[in-house]
């Protein structure tokens, strides 16, 4: 029987360290973040793990919510020249 791995923090599996730190400092969890952004918890979970790209609308909302720029939240884009 396999065990379900539950995260210790709401953003434990977030692949974006600066974004993770900012959201946890503000006491967001995936559900409250999704509500603030007007999207689903599933969507938040998928893009914080790096499994899905997000929309420009959500990126702009994240910038407003965190006060961080895109590059501060996500670092340099992969493959950017």
pLDDT at residue 46, rounded to an integer: 92
pLDDT in tens, 21-76: 899 999 999 999 999 999 999 999 998 888 988 899 999 999 999 999 988 888 86
The DSSP string of 3-51 is PPPPPSSTTTT-S-HHHHHHHHHTT--HHHHHHHHTS-HHHHHHHHTTS
User: pTM for this structure?
Assistant: 0.77
Q: Read off the tokens for 72.
A: 């501060």
User: Around 4, how many Cα atoms within 13 Å sit in the side-chain half-sphere?
Assistant: 1
| Token pair listed for 20 | 């993770």
**Residue 10 vs residue 53, higher pLDDT:** 53
């Amino acid at each position: 029987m396999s065990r379900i791995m539950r995260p210790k923090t709401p953003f434990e599996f977030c692949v974006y360290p600066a974004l993770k730190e900012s959201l946890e400092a503000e006491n967001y969890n995936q559900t409250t973040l999704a509500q603030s952004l007007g999207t689903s918890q599933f969507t938040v979970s998928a893009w914080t793990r790096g499994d899905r790209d997000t929309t420009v609308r959500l990126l702009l909302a994240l910038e407003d919510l965190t006060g961080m720029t895109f590059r501060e939240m996500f670092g340099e884009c992969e493959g950017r020249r």
